[in-house]
Homo-oligomer: A and B are copies of this chain.
Amino acid sequence: MPQTPADLTARLKPLQKRVREVGHDAVLVINPVDTRYLTGFVGDDSWTLVPARGTKVVVLSDARFEEQIAREAPHVAAVMRKKSLVDELKTLRDRRKLGRVAVQKGSLTVDRFEAIKKGLGARAVAAWDDGLMTQRAVKDAGEVKLIAKAGKIQQQAFRELRAFIEPGQTEAEVAAFLEYRMRCLGADGVSFPSIVAADANAALPHAIPGRTKLKKNGLVLIDWGAKFNGYCSDMTRVVFLGKGPSARMKEVYRVVLDAQLAGIAACRPGTPLRAVDAAARKVIDDAGYGEHFGHGLGHGIGLDIHEDPRLSHLADEHAVLEPGQVVTVEPGVYLPGVGGVRIEDDVLITARGHRVLTDLPKSFESATI
A 169-192 contacts with B by CB, 8 A? 172-173, 175-177, 179-180, 183-184, 186, 188-190
A203 within 8 A of B: yes
Tell me which residues across on chain B come within 8 A of A64, comparing CB atoms.
205-206, 294-295
Looking at the complex, which one of B42, B63, B108, B186 makes contact with A208 (CB distance below 8 Å)? B42
Tell me which residues across on chain B come within 8 A of A66, comparing CB atoms.
294, 336
A131 within 8 A of B: no
A 44-78 contacts with B by CB, 8 A? 62-68, 71
Looking at the complex, which one of B67, B107, B127, B336 makes contact with A204 (CB distance below 8 Å)? B67
How distant is the Cα of A42 from the Cα of B206 in the complex, in angstroms? 9
Looking at the complex, which one of B107, B176, B204 makes contact with A180 (CB distance below 8 Å)? B176
Looking at the complex, which one of B183, B189, B295 makes contact with A62 (CB distance below 8 Å)? B295
Tell me which residues across on chain B come within 8 A of A84, comparing CB atoms.
314
A141 within 8 A of B: no
How distant is the Cα of A193 from the Cα of B188 in the complex, in angstroms? 9
CB of B68 within 8 A of CB of A207, answer yes
How distant is the Cα of A39 from the Cα of B336 in the complex, in angstroms? 22
Tell me which residues across on chain B come within 8 A of A110, comparing CB atoms.
105, 108-110, 113, 127
How distant is the Cα of A113 from the Cα of B113 in the complex, in angstroms? 12
The interface bits of chain A over 278-304 (1 if a CB of B lies within 8 angstroms of the residue's CB, else 0) are 000000000000000011000000000
CB of B109 within 8 A of CB of A63, answer no
Q: Which of chain B's residues has its CB closest to A70's CB?
A: B336
A106 within 8 A of B: yes
With both chains docked as a complex, state the minimum distance between the C-beta of A146 and any C-beta of chain B, in angstroms: 15
How distant is the Cα of A183 from the Cα of B208 in the complex, in angstroms? 13
How distant is the Cα of A68 from the Cα of B186 in the complex, in angstroms? 33
CB of A65 within 8 A of CB of B206, answer yes
CB of A336 within 8 A of CB of B67, answer yes
How distant is the Cα of A203 from the Cα of B177 in the complex, in angstroms? 31
With both chains docked as a complex, state the minimum distance between the C-beta of A164 and any C-beta of chain B, in angstroms: 13
With both chains docked as a complex, state the minimum distance between the C-beta of A208 and any C-beta of chain B, in angstroms: 7
A316 within 8 A of B: no
CB of A68 within 8 A of CB of B206, answer yes
CB of B204 within 8 A of CB of A68, answer yes
CB of A109 within 8 A of CB of B106, answer yes
Tell me which residues across on chain B come within 8 A of A359, comparing CB atoms.
none
A365 within 8 A of B: no
The interface bits of chain A over 14-43 (1 if a CB of B lies within 8 angstroms of the residue's CB, else 0) are 000000000000000000000000000011
Tell me which residues across on chain B come within 8 A of A204, comparing CB atoms.
67-68, 71
With both chains docked as a complex, state the minimum distance between the C-beta of A365 and any C-beta of chain B, in angstroms: 29
Q: Which of chain B's residues has its CB closest to A108's CB?
A: B110
With both chains docked as a complex, state the minimum distance between the C-beta of A231 and any C-beta of chain B, in angstroms: 14
How distant is the Cα of A19 from the Cα of B175 in the complex, in angstroms? 41
Tell me which residues across on chain B come within 8 A of A206, comparing CB atoms.
43, 64-65, 68
With both chains docked as a complex, state the minimum distance between the C-beta of A299 and any C-beta of chain B, in angstroms: 11
With both chains docked as a complex, state the minimum distance between the C-beta of A337 and any C-beta of chain B, in angstroms: 8
CB of B193 within 8 A of CB of A172, answer no
Give the most central of A62, A68, A109, A172: most B CB within 10 Å. A109
Q: Nearest 5 CB-CB pairs, A to B?
A: A63-B294, A176-B183, A180-B180, A110-B127, A64-B205
6 contacts between A and B (CB under 8 A): A64-B205, A67-B203, A84-B314, A110-B113, A176-B183, A180-B180
